[in-house]
């Protein structure tokens, strides 16, 4: 790779061993993708996982004197104070959360603990070159905002935040943003939940860059968030286009770069039903409800508050969101409504964290997110997946019909 003198100095250790390690990793990534050079970034988001390997790596960079040139926002871990109040948190888990917090803070990260920074705290403009990890974030910033980020790992995004650069390859280049797969949606896209299911047909859609036709003309931000989150969980999609909706697809021809699609895939109601059946082989009693993978927006919290108002929950309900949205929910009265019904609105917390692994093991939950159900399968948690309003009704009755 061609490095500038400043980049070469970083690589050679002039700015400390932590920065040198970050640059060495980025050069290795660049060389493996035949990148010719580094390009500067203006934003970063690090999907910290609050797990040993991730925190160990961040600590190693910190010990080497690294500091983020571009302060990245970060993903949720778990809200230690909150879970210590309502349940038991092991010393080991508490220590890990503290280590993670202290390390990323010392590296100069902005401690947002939010996997949806693209909706509030870290929103790029069209064309900005950025380094975003997190499966729902990368497709959103590329597809909806028209910014440019490869599917970064938590670690490579942190390296980028430290060096202020990324190797130029993949969807940073015009030619790799052009759609090659035409996805004709014949399914009824009647609500935001339909986009969760559509995203989880990613395996059928296959690899590459999809362009969707046949979708309603004005999908909500939650629908687009759901679509990207599920696509990039069921498959590996950095970017998608929707004709007439996303900025690089004013027409089908523009999205395809004037070429013919290499493949055409049709998605029907049967495909969406197949996804639903995979996660919902049963109905019946549930032990808890959990929503917010990705973290919920104020609109989604309002939906919950409207269904729950004046009622009592039969099973515990955990609603995950970011701290700014929780504050807003307090102002709007939704927080009180949820509390009065017996629900919990929890900030800074990912569903794939120890309080849920241990607290819910062997139990059956209901969720609106196929991603949540998919990740939890390996933790011996069972989720039934339904649309948000049906999930809330299920939590009121204690069962899914």
59 binds ligand F3S (CB under 6 A): no
290 binds ligand F3S (CB under 6 A): no
Q: How far is the CB of 320 from ligand F3S (least distance, A)?
A: 6
Among 18, 30, 261, 294, binds ligand F3S (CB under 6 A): 294
350 binds ligand F3S (CB under 6 A): yes
Could you identify the residue written with the tokens 């900005």? 128
For ligand F3S, the closer of residues 157 and 295 by Cβ is 295
Q: Which residues contact 383 (CB under 8 A, 6 or more apart)?
A: 279, 290, 364, 365, 366, 367, 372, 373, 376
Among 30, 72, 76, 235, binds ligand F3S (CB under 6 A): 76
Which region, judged by CB under 6 A, interacts with ligand F3S, from 79-87, 120-128, 214-222, 290-298? 290-298
- Report the alpha-carbon distance of residue 335 to residue 198 in Å, rounded: 31
User: 278-311 burial, b if ≥16 CB within 10 A, otherwise e?
Assistant: ebbeeeeebebbbbbbbbbbbebbbbbbebbeeb
Which region, judged by CB under 6 A, interacts with ligand F3S, from 36-44, 96-104, 177-185, 293-301? 293-301
Instruction: List, as one string, the DSSP characters of 202-260.
Output: HHHH-SS-EEEESS-S---HHHHHHHHHHHHHHS--S--EETTTSTT-SSHHHHTTTSP
What tokens appear for 122 in the block?
A: 């870290």
352 binds ligand F3S (CB under 6 A): yes
Which region, judged by CB under 6 A, interacts with ligand F3S, from 101-109, 125-133, 289-297, 387-395? 289-297
296 binds ligand F3S (CB under 6 A): no
Instruction: List, as one string, the DSSP characters of 150-163.
Output: --B-HHHHHHHHHH
**Separation of first and last alpha carbons in the chain:** 59
Q: Kindly write out the interface string for residues 108-147 of this chain, putting x where it contacts ligand F3S by CB under 6 A and - elsewhere.
A: -------x--------------------x-----------
Using alpha carbons, select from 119, 135, 130, 116 the residue that is nearest to residue 240. Answer: 135
Among 198, 231, 293, 338, binds ligand F3S (CB under 6 A): 293
150 binds ligand F3S (CB under 6 A): no
Q: Kindly write out the interface string for residues 211-240 of this chain, putting x where it contacts ligand F3S by CB under 6 A and - elsewhere.
A: ------------------x-----------
Sort 53 into a burial class: Cβ within 10 Å, 0-12 / 13-18 / 19+: exposed
- Total number of residues binding ligand F3S (CB under 6 A)? 13
Contact residues toward ligand F3S (CB under 6 A) are: 75-76, 115, 136, 229, 293-295, 350-352, 371, 375
């Amino acid at each position: 790779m061609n490095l500038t003198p400043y980049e070469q100095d970083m690589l050679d250790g002039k700015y400390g061993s932590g920065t040198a390690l970050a640059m060495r990793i980025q050069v290795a990534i660049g060389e493996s993708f035949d990148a010719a050079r580094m390009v500067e970034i203006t934003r970063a988001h690090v999907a910290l996982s609050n797990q040993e390997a991730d925190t160990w790596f961040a600590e190693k960079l910190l010990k080497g004197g690294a500091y983020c040139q571009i302060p990245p926002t970060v993903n949720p871990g778990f809200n230690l104070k909150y879970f210590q109040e309502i349940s038991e948190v092991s010393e080991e888990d508490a220590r890990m959360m503290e280590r993670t917090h202290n390390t990323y803070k010392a590296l100069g990260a902005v401690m947002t603990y939010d996997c949806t920074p693209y909706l509030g705290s870290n929103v790029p403009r069209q064309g900005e070159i950025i380094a975003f990890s997190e499966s729902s974030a990368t497709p959103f910033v590329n597809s909806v905002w028209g910014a440019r980020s490869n599917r970064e790992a938590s670690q490579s995004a942190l390296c980028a935040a430290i060096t202020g650069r990324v190797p130029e390859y993949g969807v940073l280049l015009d030619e790799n943003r052009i759609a090659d797969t035409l996805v004709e949606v014949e399914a009824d896209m009647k609500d935001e939940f339909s986009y969760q299911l559509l995203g989880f047909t990613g395996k059928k859609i296959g690899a590459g860059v999809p362009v969707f036709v046949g979708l309603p003309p004005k999908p909500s931000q939650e629908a687009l968030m759901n679509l990207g989150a599920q696509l990039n969980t069921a498959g590996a999609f950095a970017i998608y286009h929707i004709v007439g909706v996303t900025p690089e697809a004013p027409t089908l021809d523009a999205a395809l770069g004037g070429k013919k699609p290499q493949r055409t895939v049709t998605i029907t109601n049967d495909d969406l039903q197949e996804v639903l059946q995979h996660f919902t082989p049963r109905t019946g009693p549930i032990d808890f409800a959990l929503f917010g993978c990705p973290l919920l927006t104020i609109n989604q919290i309002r939906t919950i508050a409207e269904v729950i108002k004046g009622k009592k929950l039969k099973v515990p309900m955990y609603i995950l969101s970011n701290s700014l949205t929780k504050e807003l929910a307090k102002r709007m009265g939704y927080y009180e409504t949820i509390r009065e019904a017996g629900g919990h609105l929890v900030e800074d917390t990912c569903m794939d964290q120890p309080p849920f692994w241990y607290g819910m093991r062997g139990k059956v939950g209901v969720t609106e997110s196929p991603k949540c159900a998919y990740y939890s399968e390996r933790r011996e948690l069972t989720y039934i997946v339904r649309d948000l309003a049906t999930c809330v009704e299920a939590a009121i009755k204690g069962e899914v019909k």
